[in-house]
Amino acid sequence: MPEDIAEALPHDDHLRGYAAHYPEVVGAGSLREALRAEAARAGYALDVGVPPTPLARRAAARISAGDRVAYVTMDVRRREFRVHCRPSADGDGPELLGGTGDLSAAVAALHSWERGAGAAELTARWPFLAAREASAPGVAGAVEGPGAVAARWERLRESAATFPSPGRHELVEAAFREPRLRVLSPGLSMQWLRFSRRATPPIRFVLPMAMPLGDGRRYRVRTSDGEMREVTGAAEAVAAVLAGLPDDVTAPPDGPLDRPPGP
């Protein structure tokens, strides 16, 4: 059972949060090994490696095909293998992105991509994939105007759910549930979850902030005056951030941000 697997994992194991939805990945020891095993069963010779980021090496994988690269991650909120196929270094062709709960479908699509199938063929054969023109450096995801804060929260929650780091997803979701924090613009820097009154430059992160300490349990909180403290659990970390907010940071009584968090 997934719960039994989770209990057998050490507290600092990066796969603990994935046990409920990805028992075969936990059983294999990493996403890389699960992909390799599935590719072997299908008779494919995928070049499966790991991303350069140490924290991602058990819960993410990198597939190489010449100067092209694809990444696979897992959504911690539900069973969904997220596939991101990038174009070659010269930027020829669109990115391919999508997610599926079927590991064999993800592996088969990656095999077709590795063998050089084009975007039209891949999206027609594998409907979970969609083509998107590669973003120019420095402008990816730029959003301004009244929806900027909501857009930053949406991107942050998606990133925290699909790019693994122990304790990060729990911290982001706990912060998002608090109306006083949802009205602020969030950001991640050096593992710190920061908040700003502004979503567009000049952005100043002078409010209290929090970061996971890598074991999925402990967090560090830094107040506006630079004081540091350690707490246990994402809820306690968020409570400490809220306690240090200035009184004039208030949530609107009603509005698009004042809603229950989605999945």
pTM over 0.85: no
- Return the SS3 of 171: helix
CA distances, 236 to each of 178, 197, 251, 262 (Å): 12, 22, 20, 21
Rounded to the nearest 10 degrees, how much is the dihedral formed by the CA atoms of 211, 24, 54, 8?
Answer: 60
Ordered by start, the domain boundaries in the chain are: 2-132, 148-243
In this predicted structure, the answer to whether residue 37 has a pLDDT above a threshold of 70 is yes
Nearest C-alpha neighbor of 31 from the set 97, 88, 95, 79:
79
pLDDT in tens, 54-89: 667 888 899 988 888 999 999 988 999 999 998 876
In this predicted structure, the answer to whether residue 259 has a pLDDT above a threshold of 80 is no
Mean pLDDT of 14-24: 87
Grade residue 110 by pLDDT with cuts at 50, 70 and 90: very high
